[in-house]
Amino acid sequence: MSRKHRSSPDEEAVERYEFVLATGQPDQLVQVHAEAFAALTDDQRGDLRTRLAESVDEADRPVDGRPDSLARVATDLEVTRPGSLERVLGPLLPAVAASVMVSPLAIALFPYGYASGSSVWQDDADDDSPLL
């Protein structure tokens, strides 16, 4: 069966971001999140800080709104409670996912072209392929 469904660029970025979250090592995730969070506006980082603070214990809350501080808290949350970060990001998820996917750092850290949008996510990939 051929995959004829064409997803939006946001959906594709989120799908690849899910792969990065599932397979990345914590130190790699901190790096790519810091880079992605740096690409957010000040208002978006403020929103992210609030969302993270509401989702973690008081002792684990971000100390400030710097991208690296937010990245550490976000990564710790995802490592301890897989799947939580996507819910916490909420409306910021597509922006963060897109930033991660175009990041030279993410592309270098994650092999086989997953971060760059190639490999198994080809539009015409065969669903019965042993690679899927």
What token pair was written down for 32? 């790519």
Summarize pLDDT for 88-111 with one digit per residue, the tens: 999 999 999 999 888 888 878 776
Summarize pLDDT for 19-46 with one digit per residue, the tens: 889 888 999 999 999 999 999 999 999 9
What token pair was written down for 7? 């997803």
DSSP-based three-state secondary structure for 18: helix
The letter for the amino acid at 121 is W
Summarize pLDDT for 50-80 with one digit per residue, the tens: 999 999 999 999 999 999 999 999 999 999 9
In 25-49, which positions are buried (b, 16+ CB within 10 angstroms) versus exposed (e)? eeebbbbbbbbbbebbeeeebebbb
Taking the domains of the chain in order of start, what are their residue ranges? 9-113
